[in-house]
Amino acid sequence: MVVHGKTNIALDEDGSDPYEEPKRQDKFKIVDSGNSLTNEKLVERILARRLDYEARNAKKEKKEKAAYEAYMKSKPTGKDSSSNSNGNSAAPAFK
């Protein structure tokens, strides 16, 4: 048995019905799945979600960049007495 939904049946490249043989053998049936989702609608949903994903990630990236820049600005840039020659905080020497 070969079943197909209620969507249109696309013809083969040569214009023939791809279900010609099952139909000839009376082994073809059209079934209503009760679902209105088609390949076209599925692709549209995927593309729409992709655009949402890209927008969400761009917003996240902007926030992360701003947070990193704020962190870098908050770090001391000048040398003071608590810094060693590399500009790192001097740790007490233990023996």
| Residue pLDDT, tens place only, 29-64 | 999 988 888 888 999 999 989 999 999 999 999 999
Task: Please state the pTM of the whole predicted model.
Answer: 0.40
Q: What is the C-alpha to C-alpha distance for residues 5 and 86, in angstroms, rounded to an integer?
A: 72
pLDDT above 60 (res 91): no
- Return the pLDDT at 82: 52
pLDDT above 80 (res 79): no
Q: Which residue has the higher pLDDT, 93 or 26?
A: 26
Residue partners of 49: CB distance under 8 A and separation at least 6: none
Question: What is the domain partition of the chain in residue ranges?
Answer: 1-36, 38-73
